[in-house]
Chain A
Amino acid sequence: METKIRTRAIMVGVVLVVSILGIIGLPKNSQELKDNVRNRIRLGLDLKGGTHSVLQVQVEDAVNITADEALERLKDELKAKNIPYADVAKADDTQAKPPKHRIVIKGVPQEKGSDLQTLASEQFSDWELSRVPGDVTGWMLSLKTTAAANIRNQAQLQAMNTIRNRVDQLGVAEPTIAEYGQGDYELVVELPSVDDPNRVRDIIQSTALLELKLVQDGPYSTREAALAAHGGILPPDTELLQGQMGQNGSETWYDVNRVAAVTGRDLSGAEPAHDVNGRPSVNFTLTRDGAARFGRVTSTNVGKLLAVVLDNRVYEAATIQTQITDRGEITGPFSQQKVQDLALVLRSGALPAAIKPLSDEVVGPSLGADSIRHGIVACIVGFVAIMTFMLVYYRGAGVNADLALILNLIILMAALGYFNAVLTLPGIAGIILTVGMGVDSNVLIFERIREELRSGKPVGASVSGGFEHAFVTIIDTHVTTIVSAAILFTFGTGPIRGFAVTLTIGLLANLFTSVFVSRVIFDYVLSRREKGAELSI
């Protein structure tokens, strides 16, 4: 009997020591003690401070861009393959969910039909070619649903990567960027302890689509003036874009080519710099292909204006003096901070589609400190109250329960550290709940022991009987609660997960402490007690 108790006691001792080491490490002084604890217990956003945003990637934009590109390509190919047509235009079904993208070609002569079919199957494999009912010269290209879905998924993935890129460049520690929700192309971005949440938000959500477009006409002072100059109809393949606001709030409008000579994809680098007047600006360099294309465009258009367009706004329109190949400059009313952010965002690449913020939460760091203090106070108050009750109600056995409870909490905190789990404010609530539910197991056992004693059984048999019979019930209560916690963990986010984690670990630890450790303590007490003495319970 003695050896069995000793072995078991050693096991409990080992668990205790490992757990304590897990929480405080091997500190050399009290400062190191505090630091160790702070490092091992990871705090959630609600205790540390930071931002939590849910963003929706507007994936339809990406599909629209692909459809537009296909339209342009189709026109070029029809010309190249000598297939005459009267009209080529988009004819999307926007009512459908998700929208169906279609291109309608009118006026294709009968004999060119097979050529068109060959062209479609070779160059437009993501589209399905069909005839237009009731029109012998009409054909329709519909974007395949799988291709469209692919574009949408790719857009979401690319947006995630671009955002991750930008966050890395900002130097935010331990960010979380992940998919969120059920299939609506939502992302969650969590950034702990950010210095300036507004600036970070702007950087992450800026589309940063850079385009260099030839200016056909401009500047005009209003949109109407620009239209009027062309008799109400713009020249083909051009669009009107607005420029910077003037000092007195005046507008400038340009008529630019729709298709850009060079886009952000051709950038090989972007750096903050200063322009000729010493104001902050961004210098960018182009890749080889981009430079070649840029060279072609600038050499054939010397004397015309080239517009630097960022997110569909003209930042400047400069005259092309000579052929430019591999570099350019963006100027504007920028602050030093703004050019650094702009260069960062250009370097990370444009977002494939706009990002729409759906929710945003910013937890200030002082709130976190408050919450931790309130949480610790609640823990201590709850703990002391329960310990006192157990002592009063169960006397000697109450000491047993209290020791088991203390070990339970130590194991819980250590497990959080070892699993690198995150402690959140609901997590602290989970710890307090573990205290209440944990002592519940001891109550079940002790009451059963009391029943056994009342029915006249000797002390040893009563204790064994108590543990045996209560065990199954303890398993039942713990399993049902852990199952609920598991469901919360699977479907919950952030703080709720913290609650599920602390509750689950606490209950598992409780199975150990209330059944094994309490039993060891009882066995020890029984082995030291004189025969025939009463058990303090």
Chain B
Amino acid sequence: MEFFHEPKIDWMGIKWYFIAMSIALALTGIISMAVKKGLGYGVDFRGGTVVYVKFSKAPNLDAIRKELDRENLPNATIQGYGLPSDHEVMIALDLKTTTESAALDQGTRAIVAALSNLFGQGPAGRVDFNNASPQTVSDHLVAADPLGLSSKGFDTATKSYRDLAEALVSFRNSPPRSGLIGDFQELSSVRGVNEGVIATLKNDFFLSSFAVKLTQIVGPKVGKDLRQQALYVTLAGLGAMLVYIWFRFELSYGVAAVVATFHDVIITLGFSLYLIRKSR
């Protein structure tokens, strides 16, 4: 199969049409960047705080907003993220709020506190299994000893329960659960789990309906440094390309290649502002 059988296209003859199209596309790119005031920076270039949370069922965004207002974060951006069936939400604070707080992570702590108030309340004295670390799970298992391992000695028992805790947490974290389980019975398929283990978990833990997947806090200096570095790296790359092609062919070829690449990048950046939704 061949797309073009001995194509005989007079490329140079119609070059003016292509030049016009290139200029038009490049201008569109530049204009879209001007309209959107920037290059659509993500949080690592822009600075600020962003928290990605997964819920077990579709969350009420208004309730979250009200709770965040109560935590003194009125300017938080809350938007759904990913597939609707994933129930994932992105909560973002702009750079100003982040820099004005006393500690860098004050925003994230406030957000997690707000979410705990709304979705993470369990019976007093119990720990949230969905946000627990393997160490915490292991500690509770060792204390309750549902597998009767204390006869084997403290070290063996601790190691076995630590491995079991790691397996349980790993199971919880892997897709399709992705960090949240709805019922302790789901854990029965993990190797080494018996009814006693499930009973211990039911006794000591509860299941909240949210899990924090990612938090990113970027201060102004880091954001600015990264933008600068990205610019230098891009220019260095273009420069290296120019030198190599000049060395292999001629200077004018090198310049042509760099101009062409630059034009491609402008178009890509410009169009991506409209085509790529806010992502990580």
Q: CB of A418 within 8 A of chain B?
A: no
Q: Are A488 and B233 in contact (CB under 8 A)?
A: yes
Q: Which of A196, A364, A480 is within 8 Å of B241, CB to CB?
A: A480
B199 to chain A, nearest CB (A): 24
Q: Are B178 and A370 in contact (CB under 8 A)?
A: yes
Q: What residues of B have a CB within 8 angstroms of the CB of A95 in the complex?
A: none
Q: Are B217 and A360 in contact (CB under 8 A)?
A: yes
Minimal Cβ-Cβ distance residue in A for B211: A366
Q: Mark B217-244, 1 if CB is under 8 A from A, else 0.
A: 1110111010001001100110011001
Q: CB of B268 within 8 A of chain A?
A: no
Minimal Cβ-Cβ distance residue in A for B49: A360
Q: Which of A54, A358, A360, A369 is within 8 Å of B178, CB to CB?
A: A369
B276 to chain A, nearest CB (A): 14
Q: Mark A172-201, 1 if CB is under 8 A from B, else 0.
A: 000000000110100000000001101001
B59 to chain A, nearest CB (A): 17
| A361 vs B54: C-alpha distance when bound (angstroms) | 17
Q: Are B104 and A360 in contact (CB under 8 A)?
A: yes
Minimal Cβ-Cβ distance residue in A for B228: A182
| A366 vs B173: C-alpha distance when bound (angstroms) | 4
Minimal Cβ-Cβ distance residue in B for A182: B225
| A236 vs B169: C-alpha distance when bound (angstroms) | 59
Q: What residues of B have a CB within 8 angstroms of the CB of A296 in the complex?
A: none
Q: Which of A195, A357, A369, A487 is within 8 Å of B173, CB to CB?
A: A369
Q: CB of A241 within 8 A of chain B?
A: no
Q: Are A195 and B232 in contact (CB under 8 A)?
A: no
Q: Mark A472-489, 1 if CB is under 8 A from B, else 0.
A: 000010011001100110
B17 to chain A, nearest CB (A): 26
A146 to chain B, nearest CB (A): 26
Q: Mark A453-485, 1 if CB is under 8 A from B, else 0.
A: 010000000000000000000001001100110
Interface residues on B, range: 35 or more
Q: CB of A392 within 8 A of chain B?
A: yes
- Interface segment out of the listed B115-123, B129-137, B148-156: B129-137
Q: CB of A292 within 8 A of chain B?
A: no
| A479 vs B244: C-alpha distance when bound (angstroms) | 9
| A441 vs B173: C-alpha distance when bound (angstroms) | 40
Q: Are B211 and A359 in contact (CB under 8 A)?
A: no
Q: Are B237 and A358 in contact (CB under 8 A)?
A: no
Q: CB of B58 within 8 A of chain A?
A: no
A15 to chain B, nearest CB (A): 29
Given contact pairs A196-B133, A360-B105, A393 touches B222 in the complex (Cβ within 8 A) = no
Q: Are A369 and B174 in contact (CB under 8 A)?
A: yes
Q: Which of A184, A362, A491 is within 8 Å of B215, CB to CB?
A: A362
Q: CB of A381 within 8 A of chain B?
A: no
Given contact pairs A369-B175, A480-B244, A484-B240, A201 touches B105 in the complex (Cβ within 8 A) = yes
Q: Which residues, 334 to 391 on A, are CB-close (under 8 Å) to B?
A: 357-370, 373
| A6 vs B236: C-alpha distance when bound (angstroms) | 45
Best-buried of B2, B134, B177, B221 by chain A (most CB within 10 Å): B221
Q: Which of B136, B214, B218 is within 8 Å of A359, CB to CB?
A: B218
Q: Are A365 and B225 in contact (CB under 8 A)?
A: no
Q: CB of A436 within 8 A of chain B?
A: no
Q: What residues of A have a CB within 8 angstroms of the CB of B222 in the complex?
A: 54, 358-359
| A522 vs B237: C-alpha distance when bound (angstroms) | 36
Q: CB of A492 within 8 A of chain B?
A: yes
Q: Mark B38-57, 1 if CB is under 8 A from A, else 0.
A: 00000000000000101000
Q: CB of B275 within 8 A of chain A?
A: no
B residues engaging A (CB < 8 A)? 1-2, 6, 52, 54, 103-105, 109, 133-136, 169-170, 172-175, 177-179, 211-219, 221-223, 225, 229, 232-233, 236-237, 240-241, 244-245, 248
Can you sample 13 A-B contacts with CB below 8 Å?
A184-B221, A195-B135, A198-B109, A201-B105, A357-B105, A359-B218, A361-B214, A364-B213, A366-B54, A480-B244, A483-B237, A484-B241, A488-B237
